[in-house]
Amino acid sequence: MEHFREPVKTDCEELLARFQATESVRYEQFLEIWRDMNFSSIYYGKPEPSERRRFARLILSVVSPYFFPPYTFQIRVGGLFLLYGLFNSQLVTPREKIRVSLKDWKDVMQFQRDAVNAQHYDVVYIFRKLLTDKAFYFTAMPIPLFYREKKEDGRKMKICEEFVDPSSRPQELVTTDMLEEIANIHEHYEGLKKSVFAEPDPNLDLIQKNLVPKLNGAILTYSNWQWNRTESEQQDDEEGPSNQESSRRAQLLASIKSRSYGQAVEASKSRRHRQTQLVPAAEAEFSLKVTPKKKRKPSLKTRTQYRFNTQGNESEGLNVTRVWCMSAVKEEKAPEKRKKKFNWNPEKSSDPT
């Protein structure tokens, strides 16, 4: 069942990304995407014994984290709607429940208060519907624990960066309360100086007189700059490849990584030239999405191989790929020989490790 975790995550993140793009928290918008993707069908298929139950359990546990911080309010709403949709579409009786831990419950309550205050009636309604339908297990921990750590857990639990607000530490630090406090202290300080010296002594002007307004201004400027930058980045993204394409590319990169320990091959100069623009962006993704654990840059060999493969795919010549990538050919033949065993992960199957 664990093999389904990755594809389930991909599907849910696709739906959430589309919901994010609507810049809305309306259930109607969500429902439109849900129906367009025919998301209820995620449960379809000829079941093996107990498979449906185990799958329902898995998908609810994959989706739950999107309902909690650090995700943005909008993504959390999307996560809630997704839980609602999945809870109601599952094909087992009694239905599998959504697990909430005591630690996370205070976030859920804050979320509800925020939704009430912002008069997001549909959000509150859906949440309360889940409560009255007894859709939750009130637990100690978000998942059952077996004192067993799986190697891939780190990767699987990774936060989806696109769904998180850009960090705003300066803003968090300089709050209204904090500014008031500084203003008070500053006033007190000026008062003390006055009481000590009859005449104001310029030697004691160590701190700017308008400290608080200046600090406030600096934070505002930073905040504006950050916001503008994010906006322009988003515009860049929109001009670039779509989300779907980039995830496809990430998969491709993963497959390349697995087969790239073989031989180095020289590229023709013209191709090398054409590739220069594309590679850096893709490389960033390479280290971000495919090998989050390894901070190390991929080896020169890997990067070179990667360039070739992109090249091969781009110039619609599968044959081109094969010319230099012998291992790929072998790999494609291999499954035919060992026909009996199911290959869960065809893209990554030739990982030499």
Partner 1 sequence: MAEGSVLMHEDEQHENVPAFEFVNVNSTEFHIGTFRDLWLEVLNPEVYSHCATAPEVEDVEFIEEMGIEPKTLEELKHICGADSLKRGHEDPDSLPSDPHLSTLKLRKRRQDYKETLTRDTLDRHEVYANELEMISVGKKPESPGDLIPEGEMVLTFNIMYPVLFQRFKRVRAFQTVHVLGSQRLTELRDAICCVSDLQVFGEFSSTPDMVPQFISKDHYKSAFFFFNGTFFNDTRFPECRDISETTREWARSRGFPHFRTAKMEDASFYDLRMKVGFPYYYTHQGDCEHVLILTDIRLVHQDDCLDVKLYPLITHKHRVVTRKCSVCHLYISRWITSSDALAPTDPCLFCDQCFRMFHYDDEGNKLGDFLAYAYVDPGTFN
> What is the C-alpha to C-alpha distance for residues 132 and 202, in angstroms, rounded to an integer?
69
Please state, in angstroms and as integers, the Cα–Cα distance from residue 17 to each residue in 20, 32, 76, 167, 281, following that order: 5, 14, 12, 19, 20
The closest alpha carbon to 258, from 286, 230, 232, belongs to 286
Q: Name the one range near partner 1 by CB under 8 A: 119-127, 167-175, 189-197, 289-297.
A: 119-127
The alpha carbons of the chain give a radius of gyration, in whole angstroms, of 27
Q: Name the one range near partner 1 by CB under 8 A: 150-158, 181-189, 205-213, 307-315.
A: 150-158
Torsion angle (degrees, nearest 10) of CA 160, 163, 166, 168: -100
**Residue in 17, 18, 19, 27 binding partner 1, rule: CB under 8 A:** 27
Residue 50 in contact with partner 1, rule: CB under 8 A: yes
Q: Which is nearer to partner 1, 31 or 183 (CB)?
A: 31
Q: x-or-dash pattern for partner 1, window 69-88, by CB under 8 A?
A: ---------------xx--x
- In the complex, what is the shortest distance from the CB of residue 194 to partner 1, in angstroms, rounded to a whole number? 40
- In the complex, what is the shortest distance from the CB of residue 258 to partner 1, in angstroms, rounded to a whole number? 18
Residue 97 in contact with partner 1, rule: CB under 8 A: yes
Residue 243 in contact with partner 1, rule: CB under 8 A: no
- In the complex, what is the shortest distance from the CB of residue 240 to partner 1, in angstroms, rounded to a whole number? 22
Q: Name the one range near partner 1 by CB under 8 A: 95-103, 202-210, 294-302, 303-311.
A: 95-103
Residue 338 in contact with partner 1, rule: CB under 8 A: no
> What is the C-alpha to C-alpha distance for residues 287 and 295, in angstroms, rounded to an integer?
7
Peptide bond into 70 cis (omega under 30): yes
> What is the C-alpha to C-alpha distance for residues 83 and 60, in angstroms, rounded to an integer?
7
Longest dimension (CA), the chain: 97
Residue 259 in contact with partner 1, rule: CB under 8 A: no
Neighbours of 32 (CB within 10 A): 14
- In the complex, what is the shortest distance from the CB of residue 159 to partner 1, in angstroms, rounded to a whole number? 13
- In the complex, what is the shortest distance from the CB of residue 89 to partner 1, in angstroms, rounded to a whole number? 5
- In the complex, what is the shortest distance from the CB of residue 123 to partner 1, in angstroms, rounded to a whole number? 10
Q: Name the one range near partner 1 by CB under 8 A: 140-148, 181-189, 286-294, 310-318.
A: 140-148
Q: What is the DSSP letter of 186?
A: H
> What is the C-alpha to C-alpha distance for residues 337 and 192, in angstroms, rounded to an integer?
88
Q: Which is nearer to partner 1, 132 or 276 (CB)?
A: 132
- In the complex, what is the shortest distance from the CB of residue 328 to partner 1, in angstroms, rounded to a whole number? 20
Please state, in angstroms and as integers, the Cα–Cα distance from residue 59 to each residue in 6, 41, 75, 223, 268, following that order: 10, 13, 17, 37, 47
